[in-house]
Structure 1
């Protein structure tokens, strides 16, 4: 392995909700109530309902956390408890992108989001709080960075729906450790999680919102020339979870990547050769998608 100078990578995450989620209450049969959600986005959102008044009503199949699919859908049924008594309902709600309820059937393996044959250095990222010299190091998992030598294409690391694109940030700064205005493309996956692919060249996106992409599909061009660490791409995978009784947050999920050297969670700095094995590329495809892929190869 060639000599390598370790450079710390910082990660900062902020929540952006592009969809407008609205809730509607409808009187149901036998005195109950039904809640409908309208989601103007192209992927599901997790919605947390906080009841400020719930009189003579019980929810069926939910504890107040529901999923709003794209479009309009019924998300909750409230049944009247005592027929002779009146009912009343007041609530507030919050929401974030992603589906808390979905689970992956098998362990997911990611492609390193670069063309096959690229030599990249994988680095486990550290939380930006550590840059502020805290008394204790924040060891929370926040994603992985891959460094490489020459400008290149960036590809999708796994199958997903393009759920957000932010590619209009131009930086005139140099010697950066971190830039809050990083360009990114976000993918929504069948397991309900989201992967954000960051540090992309402005205006270089090759995909559009709502598009389904597959592992290895080109999504943008690389960037990072203005960073101390040079050209690199960062990835973070996250999923909605309940934080206490009245809040939602994202839980950062560890990722495993395939390379010529094997499958690794990049716990240590590693030099890796990018490969795109068919079994990883097709792992999340439907039977129809897999058949189309195999016919073209």
Structure 2
């Protein structure tokens, strides 16, 4: 049996590698480099920015087993993901289950997505595959909880947080992924806080560009994504270059500082983009949320002219 195969995988929400390198000199005069700052507070630390393209959140793996091909998805995140496998080209090849096929992959785990075989055993087989991946468990059932303000009040100008764009904002909150997002206007460098306990699922900190070209910058910005125990995920976006202060897999508490606000990606000015999201079957959707403010519940205006 002649076999020709190739693979293509696409991460809809990539994982970024370290965006900066730390350099410091110890008491003996020896210079050190690392992707985390030293624990000793008396060390003089400088940073070296490094621009690194994000990598896929999942890896596709094909294992020949007899006359069949087992297609696996390996999850690189410390939280669940969903993948969808499909042919981009195939000849005399069928899958079990039939493609496109979906699978949920546990944190740092692997899942068998499909088994491929020849439709006619005596004929040549060839195929190309594509695997899309998305963070979150599609079966998640988020609870109705009150989130904490994701910015340090003492660092905000005036009397408290100012919302530049609320639910359904015309500029960038009209798609399901951001329908219930909130943009907090804040100076660059404002401490960003976790709005709830959770595990850091994704980060990007090495992006240093901004602009109003949606095609060029719409999918890129420095961010932190936190997974919560009920499967909901909070996203803190447009952080400054090098403004991520946590690492993937780290457990954080509500109110803990996780980053510094900035102005990266598709944006008109410095702000923090905050949104609660859940995976609903290979698509991220945003959820309305309750949030505590400095003098009671935060009032979020729905700017949509008509319900979406």
Would you say the 8 A contact 1:36–1:72 is kept in 2? no
Change (3 A) 1:172 1:64: closer
CA RMSD in angstroms comes to 4.5
Distance 1:166 1:219 in 2: 12
Residues 156-195 of structure 1 aligned to structure 2 (within 5 Å): 156-171=194-209, 180=217, 182-195=221-234
Aligned to 1:120: 161
Change (3 A) 1:220 1:77: closer
Deviations along 1:97-144, one digit per CA (max 9) or x if unpaired, are: 3223342352132212112455111240625479xxxxxxx5751510
Deviation (angstroms), 1:223: 2.8
Deviation (angstroms), 1:215: 1.1
Contiguous gaps of at least 5 residues in structure 1: 1-13, 79-85, 131-137, 243-247, 270-297
Length, aligned pairs only: 232
Aligned to 1:152: 190
Deviation (angstroms), 1:258: 1.4
Aligned to 2:39: none
Distance 1:23 1:249 in 2: 23
Contiguous gaps of at least 5 residues in structure 2: 1-11, 16-54, 116-120, 304-308
Query: Which structure has the highest strand share of the two?
Result: 2
Distance 2:237 2:65 in 1: 45
Change (3 A) 1:172 1:16: closer
Distance 1:91 1:47 in 2: 16
Change (3 A) 1:139 1:184: closer
Query: Which structure has the highest helix share of the two?
Result: 1
Match of 2:273, SS state, is strand
Aligned to 2:43: none
TM-score after normalising by structure 1? 0.58
Distance 2:210 2:84 in 1: 40
Distance 1:22 1:172 in 2: 32
Residue 81 of structure 2 is aligned with which of 37, 45, 49? 45
Would you say the 8 A contact 1:204–1:221 is kept in 2? yes
Change (3 A) 1:15 1:154: same
Change (3 A) 1:15 1:139: closer
Would you say the 8 A contact 1:196–1:235 is kept in 2? yes
Deviation (angstroms), 1:264: 4.4
